[in-house]
Amino acid sequence: AQTVTQSQPEMSVQEAETVTLSCTYDTSENNYYLFWYKQPPSRQMILVIRQEAYKQQNATENRFSVNFQKAAKSFSLKISDSQLGDTAMYFCAFMKPLLGGNKLVFGAGTILRVKS
Amino acid sequence: GAVVSQHPSRVICKSGTSVKIECRSLDFQATTMFWYRQFPKQSLMLMATSNEGSKATYEQGVEKDKFLINHASLTLSTLTVTSAHPEDSSFYICSASAEQGSPLHFGNGTRLTVT
DSSP states along chain B? ---EEEE-SEEEE-TT--EEEEEEESSS--SEEEEEEE-TTS-EEEEEEEETTS--EEPTT--TTTEEEEEEETTEEEEEE-S--GGG-EEEEEEE-SSTTSPPEE---EEEEE-
Distance from CA of A74 to the nearest CA of B (A): 19
Cα–Cα distance, B70 to B20 (Å, whole number): 10
A102 vs B93, B97, B109: nearest CB? B97
Least confident stretch, A96-105, B42-51, B65-74, B91-100? A96-105
Name every residue whose Cβ is closer than 8 Å to that of residue B5 and which is 6 or more positions away in sequence: B22, B23, B24, B25, B26, B107, B108
CB atoms within 10 A of CB A44: 15
Interface of A with B in 76-105 (CB under 8 A): 89, 91, 95, 97-105
Chosen from A37, A43, A50 to mutate, greatest number of chain B CBs within 10 A = A43
Q: Are B101 and A97 within 8 A, CB to CB?
A: yes
Model confidence at A41: pLDDT above 80: yes
Distance CA B99, CA B96 (A): 9
For residue A84, what pLDDT band results from cuts at 50, 70 and 90?
very high
Query: Quick check: A108 and A23 in contact, CB under 8 A?
Result: no
- Cβ-based neighbours of B77, under 8 Å, separated by 6 or more: B22, B23, B30, B33, B35, B50, B52, B69, B70, B71, B94, B96
Record: contact B43-A106, CB cut-off 8 A = yes
Q: Predicted confidence band at B63 (pLDDT cuts at 50, 70, 90)?
A: very high
Q: How far is A80 from chain B (nearest CA, A)?
A: 23
Does position A102 have pLDDT exceeding 80, yes or no? no
Residue A42 has pLDDT above 60, yes or no: yes
How many whole angstroms separate alpha carbon B13 and alpha carbon B93? Answer: 18
List A33's β-bridge partners, or say none: A52, A95
Q: pLDDT tens across A59-71, in order?
A: 999 999 999 999 9
Min Cα distance A107 → chain B (Å) is 7
Is the pLDDT at B13 greater than 90, yes or no? yes
Which pLDDT score is estimated for A99? 55
